[in-house]
Amino acid sequence: MANHTIRSGPGPGTFVEDGPAGDPWYGARAMMARDENVTATTVRVLVVDDEKNYLLALDALLSESGYTVVTTSNPLEAQKLVEDETFDCLISDLKMPRMSGLDLLRVVKQADPSLPVLMLTAHGTVETAVEAMREGAYHYLLKPFENEELKLSVAKAVELGRLRREKDYLRESIRDMAGFGDFVGRGESMRKVFELIEQVAPARTTVLVLGESGTGKELAARAIHQKSARADRPFVAVNCCALAETLLESELF
């Protein structure tokens, strides 16, 4: 079967559209239409299906709704597109040659965990629906689908993707501003502390943190732990002042 790749958008004709590759927050800034005076032309939807008729129908339906649509009949090409470009929603058939929709879903989630994926199939069962959802699909529709149901699902998926990217962006911003978790500081002296933590955290050695009461010794210790190779293991804080000298060794070791 020949591959069919179509890039189209609102207005007459079909065109090759080069999105702003390398801009990780392009999808986060692509807002859904809020009323009739606002369009969704900046929202990019990737559609993959080995049935050309469905590709053409989905392209027409979504372009009519204001989306920028990229379609392909080859799931391997869809995988490369997701790796190289930014999309706000992926619509994939479940049964395809070369790679199944579930396999595509798995690799797409590794490349872009925040990308919402809608699965389409004419071979739907409860089992495959549950498996698709378990693998990270946002929603699952059976062919033939209702146009309004599909458009509503895409709109909700795009909004979900926007919220996911916004959450990731805010999390990164807070992390940059705060430094290390709850260890907050933006001054020159704190920057030096953060640099020291970055240096010692990877080392497999004992670290002694000195400071007066209330200066953040435990926070520094937690930050070192979070940056270390042992971050997935428990961090146990022990107040040695509360232990009798005779019990100290037995309690700690």
- At 151-191, the pLDDT tens digits run 999 999 999 999 988 888 777 666 555 556 666 677 788 88
Q: Are both 191 and 76 inside the same structural domain?
A: no
Q: How far apart are CA 214 and CA 64, in angstroms?
A: 61
Q: How many CB atoms lie within 10 A of CB 246?
A: 7
The whole-number pLDDT of residue 30 equals 40
Domain boundary among 147, 173, 199: 173
Q: Are both 245 and 150 inside the same structural domain?
A: no
The CATH number of whichever domain residue 226 belongs to comes to 3.40.50.300
More confidently predicted of 25 and 137:
137
The secondary structure element, H or E, covering residue 173 is: helix 147-178
The token duo for 37 is 């005076």
Identify the three-state secondary structure at position 26: helix
Amino acid letter, 133 = M
Distances in whole angstroms, Cα of residue 208 to Cα of each of 20, 69, 173, 203, 220: 48, 57, 30, 13, 10
Q: Are both 27 and 101 inside the same structural domain?
A: yes
57 belongs to a structural domain = yes
The whole-number pLDDT of residue 121 equals 84
The CATH number of whichever domain residue 11 belongs to comes to 3.40.50.2300
Q: Are both 147 and 64 inside the same structural domain?
A: yes
Pair 15, 8: CB distance under 8 Å: yes
Domain boundary among 173, 189, 220: 173
The model's pTM is: 0.57
| Residue 89, domain extent | 6-173
For residues 186-201, give the mean pLDDT. Answer: 84
Domain boundary among 111, 138, 173: 173
Q: Are both 38 and 146 inside the same structural domain?
A: yes
Model confidence at 2: pLDDT above 60: no
Q: Are both 191 and 72 inside the same structural domain?
A: no
Domains of the chain: total:
2
18 belongs to a structural domain = yes
User: 6 phi and psi, to 5 degrees?
Assistant: -130, 130
Identify the three-state secondary structure at position 120: strand
234 belongs to a structural domain = yes
User: 141 phi and psi, to 5 degrees?
Assistant: -125, 145
1 belongs to a structural domain = no
Q: How many CB atoms lie within 10 A of CB 93?
A: 23
Render pLDDT for 217-242 as a digit per residue (tens, 0 to 9): 888 898 888 888 888 889 888 888 77
26 belongs to a structural domain = yes
Q: Are both 128 and 232 inside the same structural domain?
A: no
Render pLDDT for 48-71 as a digit per residue (tens, 0 to 9): 999 999 999 999 999 999 999 999
**Pairing of β 68-72 and β 6-8:** antiparallel
